[in-house]
Amino acid sequence: MTESPLLLTDRGAVRTIAVNRPDKLNALDAATLDALHAAFDQAAQDPNVRVVVLTGTGPKAFVAGADIAQMSGLSAVEGRDFSLRGQRMMRRVEKMPKPVIAMVNGFALGGGLELAMCCHLRIAADTAKVGQPEINLGLIPGFGGTQRLIRLAGRAAALELCLTGAPIDAARALQLSVVNRVVPAAELEAETMKLAEQLANAAPLALRGMIDCVNVGAECGLEEGLEYESAQFGLIFSSEDMREGTRAFLEKRKPAFKGV
């Protein structure tokens, strides 16, 4: 049996998915892309999982990119298929009904940055570096890098990162909104888990509704986005969690959300 390229661990309602190819700096080959897709499918369906943390093993890399050794021999058709494979997986992450936090513990380059950007939130160690260095290989980003960089950092920054291929440090990534937070490397896991546990205790249906609304709003006009938000807002009034949350507020106690 082939060993899985992932490590999965649960801590309460938080599942950590770690790309486990430290000898390859956690590079994404086809098998790893497929394993990630399956792992996120499983986490989405598991009622005991409320939040997913995504990271990489080893001291150097979150994910250092796509597996260049595997890509180097691809034909044009195979290259397109590899791109679509990666994009499907990352779209799966982006559309997760549960919050996904990228814990960026080291290099997040090429496919690694693309993987981080499809997560809902990104916390980076102050030692991390991110970038889209595909230009140095005579390539362009293929897992959504050009598109998500525009949406996160704007056109000018997207072009700079892609055209120069130069990595940026975590502080600059924070300035560009490529990551949400930067913390000292020694505190990365603790701070990420603190946020994950906060979200795990929040109302699951409300979290899902917010993720859906932001995803829809990022891809449509304002009027359509507002209409979708109102529909989701009204729908959640049928949930027990909404009743529990409002009762708890009025009774001055902590709510106990069940996801129903």
Residues marked active site are found at 114, 134
> Would you state the structure tokens that stand for residue 173, as one six-digit string?
């990534």
Burial of 33 (0-12, 13-18, 19+ CB in 10 A): buried
Adjacency order of strands within the sheet including 129-131: 61-63, 107-109, 129-131, 168-169
Element (DSSP H or E) covering residue 46: none
Helix (H, G, I), strand (E, B) or coil at 136: helix
Q: Which residues contact 17 (CB under 8 A, 6 or more apart)?
A: 6, 7, 8, 36, 39, 40, 43, 52, 53, 54, 55
